[in-house]
Amino acid sequence: MDNPARVAEFQARLKEHRAQLQAEVAGILPPGSRFVLEIGSGHGHFLTAFAQANPGRQCVGIDLQLERVARANRKRDRAKLPNLHFLRGDVAMLLEVLPPGVLADLIFVLFPDPWPKARHHKHRTMQDPFLETLAAKTLPGAQLCFRTDFEPYFRDVQAALRDHRDWVLTDKPWPFELPTVFQERAESYHSLIACRR
């Protein structure tokens, strides 16, 4: 049985973090706006380059690791990119706190942790419940761009999207190319794009 005091402390920290994330998001994405989302943005190389190439688009990267987010924000500041923002947190929470009418129109998921052991598959981001949540916060026609060097994960994501009611696999070209650190290290990788129905 969980310690009630520890549970209460955890819930209070979670509530505080949610409120902080909601305030940050409200400051960068006004109601009704559109944005590009990178899930697991790491040190921000990819999204910084994308934001530089697309100054008219609001770009948001989210990552769980504070140190990564801090490094990514330093990159943004050096590049002087007012259309780029990196946030610390869980993507599900980010989607929960988006202001009314704010929708993603392009999503990148690049080389996420594949959680290769079967008992850890529950930790994978790209699963049906998350795909449904993401669909509710995206514009119809939005592109979901997924890339991994772990073929079993790629096949699982491909299968999940193939039969999904909210997403359809396409043969659209990759919208922006910049090799990530993981991509440069990989012997090979697999990419797919799904569009929001």
**Catalytic positions, written as ranges:** 113
Contact 194, 170 (CB under 8 A): yes
For residue 36, how many other CB atoms are within 10 A of its CB? 24
Q: How far is the C-alpha of 146 from the C-alpha of 194, rounded, in Å?
A: 8
Cα–Cα distance for residue pair 121/141, rounded to 1 Å:
28
What's at 124, amino acid-wise?
R
Backbone angles phi, psi at 144, to 5 degrees: -110, 110
Cα–Cα dist 171/117, whole Å:
30
- Name the 3-class secondary structure at 193: strand
User: Strand, coil or helix: what is 80?
Assistant: coil
Give 110's DSSP letter.
E
